[in-house]
């Protein structure tokens, strides 16, 4: 699994990485935040959890910025063999096979 240190910078609550090291519970979301406004519009009360029983998530989900061009969940690129290496390995087998057939 990729980490934020290797692949990108951490983003949360609109703050820089250095200022986002503390718990987000100690830094409430600003009321001008669109997510905050949407939650309030749908009946959420500040300081309570998400969901009907208010037992859900209390802190915002941590987001990461991807800096590479690979898709989500993609493994690191595999080493590609050069054509000459593939040809050199297969050539003796092909010649040997053709000699046995004659």
Over residues 2-43, the pLDDT tens digits come to 444 444 555 554 544 444 444 445 567 788 989 889 989 988
In a domain, 9, yes or no: yes
In a domain, 24, yes or no: yes
Range of the domain at 57: 4-76
In a domain, 38, yes or no: yes
Distance of CA 60 to the CA centre of its chain: 16
pLDDT value of residue 41: 92
Q: What's the structural domain count of the chain? A: 1
In a domain, 71, yes or no: yes
Give the separation between CA 48 and CA 29, rounded to whole angstroms.
Answer: 13
In a domain, 94, yes or no: no
In a domain, 99, yes or no: no
pLDDT value of residue 56: 86
Lowest mean pLDDT, pick from 31-35, 48-52, 98-102: 98-102
In a domain, 52, yes or no: yes
In a domain, 15, yes or no: yes
């Amino acid at each position: 699994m990729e980490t934020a240190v290797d692949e990108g910078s951490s983003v949360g609550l609109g703050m820089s990485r250095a200022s986002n090291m503390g718990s987000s519970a100690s830094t409430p979301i600003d009321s001008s935040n669109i997510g905050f406004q949407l939650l309030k519009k749908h009946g959420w009360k500040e300081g309570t959890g998400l969901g009907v029983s208010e037992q859900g998530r209390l802190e915002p989900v941590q987001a990461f910025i991807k800096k590479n061009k690979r898709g989500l969940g993609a493994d690191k690129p595999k080493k590609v063999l050069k054509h000459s290496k593939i040809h050199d390995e297969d050539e003796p087998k092909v010649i040997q096979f053709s000699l046995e057939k004659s």
